Amino acid sequence: MSWIREEDLPLANVIKVMSINPGAMKAVQELNGRITFGSSALTRVQEEAIATTVSVVNQCRF
């Protein structure tokens, strides 16, 4: 939790701290989505499965 007053949103804290600037928060979310799940030969399900596996291996809850 940051010292910035955040909205109670179901997002990662690193994104949630931008809730004071909704435009910036939305832009970062879109950028992240395009980078993570952009044009690829893989399906979205395959990309999500890889992301989940990497998160588990790295013991990351996001």
Predicted TM-score (pTM) above 0.75:
no
Closest by CA to 35, choosing from 58, 53, 51, 20, is 51
Q: What percent of the chain has pLDDT over 90?
A: 16
Residue 60, both tokens: 């990351």
Length of the chain: 62
> For the chain, percent helix, then strand, then coil, each to nearest 5?
60, 0, 40
Closest by CA to 24, choosing from 36, 15, 33, is 15
Residue type for 44, please? R
- Would you kindly state where each structural domain of the chain is located, as residue ranges? 13-57
Q: What is the sign of the dihedral through the CA atoms of 34, 35, 38 and 43?
A: negative
pLDDT at 19 over 90: no
pLDDT at 60 over 60: yes
pLDDT at 38 over 80: no
Average pLDDT over residues 27-56: 86
What is the predicted pLDDT for the residue at 53?
93
